[in-house]
Amino acid sequence: MKKYDIPEYVLQILSRLKGAGFEAYIVGGPVRDLLLGRAPLDWDIATSALPSEISPLFERTIETGIRHGTVTVLSEGGRAEVTTFRKESSYSDLRHPDEVIFVSDLRQDLMRRDFTINAMAMTPEGRVIDYFGGGADLERGLVRCVGDPVTRFGEDALRMLRALRFKAVLGFEVEARTLEALKDCSHLALALSAERVRDELVKILLSGSPETLESAIEYGLLNAYLKPGVVNLDGLSGLCAGEHARLCALCFLLEKRGLIESPESFLRGLRFSGAAVSLVKSAASILKSGFPNDEKGVKRILAALGREAVSLASEASFGEDAARLLESVLSSGECWSIKQLKINGSDLENIGLRGVQVGTALSALLEHVIEHPLDNERNILLNMAKNQLNITLT
Ligand code: ATP
Ligand code: MG
């Protein structure tokens, strides 16, 4: 039997469950990842023990989703989600199973899982239990529903986005019948909650093949958030894999193609946080007007939108010059903000400016210093303010 790299603490959890007379297996994502030679992100264990029987076996547990049969076991080495074998009955709202029915055998638990590659179990010794041909699909690089794809997408429409997510993350193809069903059932995605859609969208966006979102759009899976259409997202994979940078570039491309009203409306619809919306929106506005191609231009957008937004726009910009220009402005130490001016509001009050005049004068001085970096000297600026040289005060 092939040896897999299963952490000691996971083996201990399995052995504790088995020692108490229950069945216990690693299931789903980690089995898939171990077979692919990838490091699992999290460890899921399925067991015949009921939640009330799981908790007493371990010192530290969190009853994560006790109604769904999930207990998180915490140990020195890390955490694992331990879930009672279960099947889900029906999905009348297309989002959540109406009730969870605990079952006694592993096969039924694996049968409720979305794709064959996610429906395998592994014993602590490394024996793989594969009822649905997941191993063969892993080798062929196929995302295939367990059972009839139309039925499975009808139960939970999120599976359609998950299919594209695994395609994007693993570099797989969606198997022909599964793909046909996906196209036929895509309207069901309209009923999904924005949060679930957003989470899958971000995973696709951060994968090695973010352009997979083109298919999600083309098949209509995102029709609740954008207009139907076609867009070329080839450029995305060349950008750094930062969530905000790729989101910004995505918004820019969607807006350019006329598929969204604005980055703000799109991101709000998908329930991104207020902070993310405002940052990405500012950065996307820079891409829309074109990232400046000289240092003065970069200073002006820094002054107007702040360092974070400009830095994001440079990461999301398809040309290489943006990052280089920004770096050169930032490392020059030259002034691009009112804070960096060698005089401040009190200095201006001392020479007699009042209220709104102070702000107007500071902005005008900043504009001057951006044009003439060497003039950022206290005396020069004070004199300019005094003489109102080249500055229009209101
Ligand atoms: P990741 O590496 O991103 O965590 P994962 O396969 O572990 O991938 P999860 O969303 O953590 O994905 O789900 C864990 C497992 O639960 C999946 O491998 C799959 O077996 C099952 N699963 C998750 N979501 C669904 C769903 N919507 N329908 C059916 N089975 C699902
Ligand atoms: Mg997981």
User: How is 47-92 classified by DSSP, letter by letter?
Assistant: ESS-HHHHGGGSSEEEEEEGGGTEEEEEETTEEEEEEE-EEE---T
- Closest ligand to C-alpha of residue 132 is 1
Contact by Cβ (8 Å): 284, 309 = no
Q: Which of the ligands is closest to the CA of residue 143? A: 1
Question: Token pair for residue 270?
Answer: 């998908």
Choose one of 43, 118, 188, 192 to mutate for the ligand 1 pocket test, by most ligand atoms within 8 angstroms of C-beta: 118
Residue 394 has pLDDT above 50, yes or no: no
Q: What are the tokens at 93? A: 């709202």
Residue 128 corresponds to which tokens in the numbers above?
């793989």
CB of 28 closer than 6 angstroms to any ligand 1 atom: yes
95 pLDDT higher than 70: no
Q: What are phi and psi of 9, to 5 degrees?
A: -65, -30
Q: What are phi and psi of 273, to 5 degrees?
A: -65, 155
For ligand 1, whether the C-beta of 109 sits within 6 Å is no
Beta bridge partners of 47: 24, 84
Neighbours of 173 (CB within 10 A): 14
Cβ neighbours of residue 173 closer than 8 Å, sequence gap 6 or more: 141, 142, 143, 167
CA terminus-to-terminus distance, the chain:
82
Q: Distances from the Cα of 4 to the Cαs of 41, 42, 117, 164, 371, in angstroms?
A: 15, 15, 17, 27, 62
Q: Check: CB of residue 138 under 8 Å from CB of residue 128.
A: no
pLDDT tens-digit profile of 246-270? 999 999 999 999 999 999 999 999 9
On the CB side of 105, CA atoms within 13 Å amount to: 5
Q: What's the pTM?
A: 0.91
Q: Is a pLDDT exceeding 50 seen at residue 389?
A: no
CB atoms within 10 A of CB 268: 15
Q: Does the beta carbon of 156 sit less than 6 angstroms from any atom of ligand 1?
A: yes
Contact status, residue 109 vs residue 118, Cβ threshold 8 Å: no
Atom of ligand 1 nearest to the CA of 165: 3
Of the chain, the percentage scoring pLDDT greater than 70 comes to 95
Q: Residue 365: phi, psi to the nearest 5?
A: -65, -40
Mean pLDDT for 78-107 is 81
Helices 307-316 and 321-332: crossing angle in degrees, nearest 10, is: 150
In the numeric block, which tokens belong to residue 251? 């918004």
Distance, in Å, from the CA atom of 213 to the CA atom of 197, rounded to the nearest integer, reads 12
Q: Ligand 2 mean position to 366 CA, how many Å?
A: 51
Nearest-angstrom CA–CA distance, 255 and 265? 11
Residues, the chain, total? 394
Helical packing angle, 158-170 and 176-185, nearest 10°: 140
Distance CA 171, CA 118 (A): 15
In this structure, the residue with its CA closest to atom 25 of ligand 1 is 114
State whether the beta carbon of 42 lies less than 6 angstroms from ligand 1. yes
**Sequence-ordered alpha helix ranges (H) in 220-273:** 243-256, 263-269
What ligand is nearest to the CA atom of residue 162?
1
Q: Residue 353 burial (CB < 10 Å; 0-12/13-18/19+)?
A: buried
**Cβ(161) – ligand 1 distance below 6 Å:** no
Q: Which amino acid is at 195?
A: E
Most informative mutation of 95, 113, 151 for ligand 1 (most atoms within 8 A of CB): 113
Average pLDDT of the chain to the nearest whole number: 93
146 close to ligand 1 (CB < 6 Angstrom) = no
State the chain's maximal CA–CA distance in angstroms: 89
Residue whose Cα lies nearest atom 12 of ligand 1: it is: 29
Closest CA to 332 of 365, 359, 294: 294
Measured in Å, residue 223 CA sits from the centre of ligand 1 at: 24
Ligand 1 and 118: CB distance under 6 A: yes
Reading the block at residue 370, the tokens are 């951006």
- Confirm or reject: Cβ of 81 under 6 Å from ligand 1: no
**CA 238 to centroid of ligand 2, rounded, Å:** 26
Nearest-CA neighbor of 263 among 209, 312, 203, 215?
Answer: 312
CB of 134 closer than 6 angstroms to any ligand 1 atom? no
Interval 193-239: pLDDT, tens: 999 999 999 999 999 999 999 999 999 999 999 999 999 999 999 99
**158 CB less than 6 Å from ligand 1?**
yes
Q: How far is the CA of 189 from the centre of ligand 1 (A)?
A: 18
Which of 68, 111, 114 best tests ligand 1's pocket when mutated (most atoms within 8 Å of CB)?
A: 114
For ligand 1, whether the C-beta of 200 sits within 6 Å is: no
Ligand 1 atom nearest residue 119's Cα: 20
pLDDT tens digits for 323-337?
999 999 999 999 999
Instruction: Look up residue 362 and give its amino acid.
Output: L
Say how many C-beta atoms besides its own lie within 10 A of residue 200's C-beta.
21
In three-state secondary structure terms, 342 is: coil
Ligand having the closest approach to the CA of 41? 1
- Nearest CA residue ID for atom 15, ligand 1: 28
> What is the predicted pLDDT for the residue at 89?
64
Q: Is the pLDDT of residue 369 over 50?
A: yes
For position 393, what pLDDT does the model report? 45
